[in-house]
Structure 1
Amino acid sequence: MSREDFKNLPLHKKIHLLYTEGTFVVAIRYYAHKVNLYLLDNEYIEVFYNHKLDKIEKIDFLNLHHTRMKFYLDQIQLSL
């Protein structure tokens, strides 16, 4: 599946795909979110869960240039 195909899926289908075909890597706390990182088809994908609202607010590909990377670098191995 291409990145564009994944991005165009509705949220519930992204969730299903990640939970059934993805591999959970690590969870971090980031402001109001618990962010679960998954590996799917050699792509890292973040799932932003707001525990106060009890809902997943966003699912997106890991931005390698975001400051959140410092929380992941000891947990994942990137081939750039």
Structure 2
Amino acid sequence: MSREDFRELPLHKKIHKLYTEGTFVVAIRYYSHKVNLYLLEKEYIEVFYNHKLDKVDNIDFLNQNHTRMKFYLDQIHIRIES
């Protein structure tokens, strides 16, 4: 599945695909969210869960240039492909 196809899925289908076909990697706390990182095929995907509202706010591909990377890299080795 391409990035574009995944992004066009409704939220509930993204969640289902990640939980059934993805591999959970690690969870971090980021402001008001618990962010779960998944590996789906060769792509890292973040799931932003707002525990105060008890809902998933966003699911998107990992931005490797974001400052959140330091939280992941402190815990695991992420394989970055060009």
The corresponding residue for 1:23 is: 23
Shift of residue 72 of structure 1? Answer: 0.8
Deviation at 1:73, TM superposition (A): 1.3
- What percent identity do the matched residue pairs reach? 79
Give 5+ residue unaligned stretches, structure 1: none
The equivalences for 1:4-19 within 5 A come to: 4-19=4-19
TM value normalised by structure 2: 0.94
* 1:24-63 matched pairs, under 5 angstroms: 24-63=24-63
Tell me how far apart the structure 2 counterparts of residues 25 and 31 of structure 1 sit (CA, whole Å).
Answer: 19
Q: TM-score, normalised by structure 1?
A: 0.96
2: CA distance, partners of 1:46 / 1:63: 9
Q: What's the offset of the Cα at 1:78? A: 1.8
Root mean square deviation of aligned Cα = 0.8
Secondary structure of 2:25's counterpart equals strand
* Paired letter, 1:55: K
Output the CA distance in 2 between the equivalents of 1:18 and 1:25. Answer: 11
Residue 67 of structure 1, CA deviation? 0.1
**CA drift at 1:16:** 0.1
Q: Distance in 1 between matches of 2:77 and 2:21?
A: 18
Q: Secondary structure, in 3 states, of the residue corresponding to 2:5? A: helix
User: Aligned letter for 1:72?
Assistant: Y
Which structure 1 residue ranges, 4+ long, deviate > 4 Å from structure 2?
Answer: none
1:77 Cα offset (Å): 2.3
SS at match of 1:19: helix
